[in-house]
Amino acid sequence: MVRVILRRLIQLVVTLIALTTLVFFWLRSLPGGPVDALLGERATPQTRELLTRALGYDQPIWTQYGRFVKNVVTGNFGNSIRTGEPVMDVISRSFPATIELAVAAIIIAIGLGIPLGYIAARYRGRMLDNATIIVTLIGISIPIFFLGYLLKDLLTQNIHIFPPSGRITTGMDNTDVTGFFVLDGLLTREFDATADALWHLVLPAITLATIPLAIIIRITRASVLDVLDEDYIRTADAKGLRNTTIRKRHVLRNALLPVVTTIGLQTGALLAGAVLTEKVYNWGGLGTLITDSISGGRDYPVLQALILLAAVVFIVVNLLVDLSYAVIDPRVRVQ
């Protein structure tokens, strides 16, 4: 197990180095270079020369690269062009909102997807199985923004079950400790704030979870059907093992590997889906920050930090997926 962890950590470091290099050269491949991109229409020969010298772009490329890597390691991405604040301060205000939304969405997707996929496989060819296939196909096909506006119109304006937007009711946000409003309410023992944050979270999380949920159901169903046709399942049944033992130890565990892979990929993809979901529900997370940084004056310092942050999250999630393989399937540990 230790060798598996070390091998994956080495791969993680190599991936991060490659990604950092790509981002470094991407900045320098912008039309006119990063200096013109930062100055925009205000660029003059004098201001261009001053900014080039201030940013160190007049130095050798490897000197620039070494300084860039050092800044990435220390978390120094400079200041935002739009607000003038340190980039990490800007991101730290939005990061908890997106993580809270993504975690809630993946919990819904996993909590419903695996059981429903397993049940559909057990009753394959029947009405329940056919209904599941139709519903998942619809879930995959509907765009997130359309589903978001549909649920928002139905459940917040017509029936008034959920709040229409935001993360918490105005006046209850004085419990902000970590930026995770659900957790902050528990830490400060303000349980009304926790309940209010959860109530705001439900609808955006359901919207964001729709596509991962549909995919997990279909992958679980297909994987379970493949395992049910294996010889060792028929052998276990012929030996007289209880159905519960066969399902838990042999069917579900062996069917989980492709499901876990799908969960890892979908967790990373939630960051992309969060852009639209956050816009619909005015969530104020990284998705909103990305759109504001692009449309609000090409805030490249923030964008490069967001690219690296998204990559790190995706890599860490896939590292956890790889480690879970070794837990689910002991054969992975000796490979």
Provide the Cα torsion 155, 161, 164, 166; round to 10°. -140
pLDDT of residue 218: 92
Domain boundaries 88-334, corresponding CATH code = 1.10.3720.10
Percentage of the chain lying above the pLDDT 70 cut: 90
pLDDT of residue 139: 87
pLDDT at 266 over 80: yes
pLDDT at 37 over 80: no
Ranking 45-54, 58-67, 103-112 by mean pLDDT, the lowest is 45-54
Contact by Cβ (8 Å): 271, 98: yes
What is the band of 212 on the pLDDT scale with cuts at 50, 70, 90?
very high
The average pLDDT across 214-232 equals: 88
Contact by Cβ (8 Å): 193, 168: yes
Hey, where are the domains in the chain? 2-73, 88-334
Q: How far apart are CA 315 and CA 232, in angstroms?
A: 35
pLDDT at 174 over 70: no
Question: pLDDT tens digit string along 81-112?
Answer: 777 788 888 888 888 888 899 999 999 999 99
pLDDT at 248 over 60: yes
Contact by Cβ (8 Å): 157, 87: no
Q: How far apart are CA 232 and CA 39, in angstroms?
A: 67
Question: What are the residues facing 79 on neighbouring strands?
Answer: 86
Q: How far apart are CA 36 and CA 4, in angstroms?
A: 46
Provide the Cα torsion 63, 65, 91, 39; round to 10°. 70
Question: What are the residues facing 86 on neighbouring strands?
Answer: 79
Q: How far apart are CA 148 and CA 276, in angstroms?
A: 9
Average per-residue pLDDT for the chain: 82
